[in-house]
Structure 1
């Protein structure tokens, strides 16, 4: 009998698959995802948060620029402290970003704080039930649970198709995604 893989094992498998993609393939995938756009219409003024990609993550900037061209207001997360909800600050493509406490680029603290209507969520791995494996700190699970007390937020995982795994061992505190977008397909989990 084989042991069930841990989240750490599954994270490593998915990240290894992502890291194996060459830079040109990652850029092409980001552009394909942007060209397809979201699987639903957004109203002018909808606040969409993205993220600053780290390591070999899919870059959401092309999609965010396309959404801004259709009237979305953009935001990027800032990490205030472990165990605290992420803060989202207004961002316009071309704005200068600063290095945050985790070494991730963030908007300046002088930028307006916004509460997103749609969150583009980075991830290490995902399954076809809308579960994700992040990087282990729980920032997005905590933030989604916290912000959804005030208003509905559509959570969209953004990843390469290579990051799909058979099953994520989800726990009670894990927040499921509404959608996952890859360069190949849009997965809709709202009816699950």
Structure 2
């Protein structure tokens, strides 16, 4: 591998494989219980936020359906991303999950009737993460551009523990997360622990 992009591509392939293998070994009950209620540190951040941006999980990604139910039950404004080409994602308020429809890469996203909102907290998918709060995404830079658009929003990664790597290769545009939540652990920046 000659450059950083090649290293990232190799990591993506390996960690998709790991995530898929881990996910396939989970029974349905465990899958249903995972991530259904936020752990205390994340619950505290959610309580302090009004608009929560969440993603529609696909395949072996950490599931978000139960978390979406929880956020709705607690009266939070729930938003999902809409793909906007090379521009940052647009978060749109979703009052009913039925308003999601197949969008970019067949990922469920809000239809155009859903109003755009500014998130206080963004819960993001990822392929791999490290303890310095680095995030390896799909490779399109969509979330990094979106994080830059909403610099005041807290950035929370949701992942399975098998997605941890020693070090995520970084490029200048890559942005760190504030917290990572797995099925077994919460990892957060030191300045978030007080």
Q: TM-score with structure 2 length normalisation?
A: 0.86
**Structure 1 Cα separation of the partners of residues 90 and 185 of structure 2:** 29
**Structure 2 Cα separation of the partners of residues 38 and 104 of structure 1:** 29
- Asked if the contact 2:93/2:117 (under 8 Å) is kept, the reply is yes
Match of 1:51 among 39, 48, 55: 55
Unpaired runs of 5+ in structure 2? Answer: none
Match of 2:37 in 1: 35
**Structure 2 Cα separation of the partners of residues 27 and 136 of structure 1:** 32
**Structure 2 Cα separation of the partners of residues 143 and 114 of structure 1:** 13
Q: CA offset at residue 52 of structure 1?
A: 1.0
C-alpha distance 178-29 of structure 1, shift in aligned 2 (>3 A): farther
**Structure 2 Cα separation of the partners of residues 190 and 138 of structure 1:** 26
Unpaired runs of 5+ in structure 1? Answer: none
Give the CA RMSD over aligned residues: 2.4
C-alpha distance 169-67 of structure 1, shift in aligned 2 (>3 A): same
Match of 2:124 in 1: 121
Match of 2:7 in 1: 6
Indicate the structure with greater helix content: 2
**Structure 1 Cα separation of the partners of residues 150 and 92 of structure 2:** 14
Q: CA offset at residue 7 of structure 1?
A: 1.0
Match of 2:101 in 1: 98
Q: CA offset at residue 55 of structure 1?
A: 2.2
Q: CA offset at residue 122 of structure 1?
A: 0.5
